[in-house]
Amino acid sequence: SLDAGYQESFHGDQLTWWKNLNDNHTNHTIYWSSDYPTESDVYESLQTRDGLAYWVPEIDRAGYRSAWENHVHAFKRTFPLTDGNIHENGTIYLGEGSWGAYPNLTPLYNDTGYIATFSATINQFWVVHINHSNNTVVYTAVVNNGTIIDQVEQKLKV
């Protein structure tokens, strides 16, 4: 998991290490911050600005299929994004850490249009099924009673 500015900055040694690792990476990354948040206060934060400036370009360059964001404690999934724009081969940003926390009653927003689905009032977790025979991955959001609330399939980078 990447450090969102608590011990290491978004740039510098951590970014250099990550760029070297990404040349042989898997298809997914995880970190504690939100580059594409659902809450307007977080969108204006230094962590989000640094994530958009340093991490998103690297996520795009490396061709990550998914980025797992945390912090806001809300359920969300973006459309596939490249450079902040919807693109069929882009990265899906999933999050935001709402399984073990009380539901976040903060009003959420989608002024940008990049969020495909979101909610602040549910606890959920993601199940990931990777199918190497057809190079796809399916992300399934499940709530605590087992109900599926969202599902999306994506091609893996090969």
Per-residue pLDDT tens digits of the chain, which is 158 residues long: 676 777 777 788 888 888 888 777 667 888 877 888 777 666 677 777 888 888 899 999 988 899 998 877 778 899 999 999 999 999 999 987 677 777 767 667 777 788 898 887 788 889 999 999 999 999 999 988 999 999 999 998 76
Strand partners, 131: 136
Is the distance from CB of 69 to CB of 31 less than 8 angstroms? yes
Q: How far is it, in rounded angstroms, from Cα 55 to Cα 52?
A: 6
Q: How far is it, in rounded angstroms, from Cα 108 to Cα 122?
A: 13
Joined tokens for residue 53:
């400036």
Please provide residue 41's backbone torsions phi and psi, each rounded to the nearest 5 degrees. -65, -40
Joined tokens for residue 147:
């109900």
| pTM over the 0.85 mark | yes
Tokens 């993601």: give the residue: 126
Q: What single string gives the DSSP state of each residue in 85-108?
A: EE-TTSBEEEE---SSSPPP-SPP
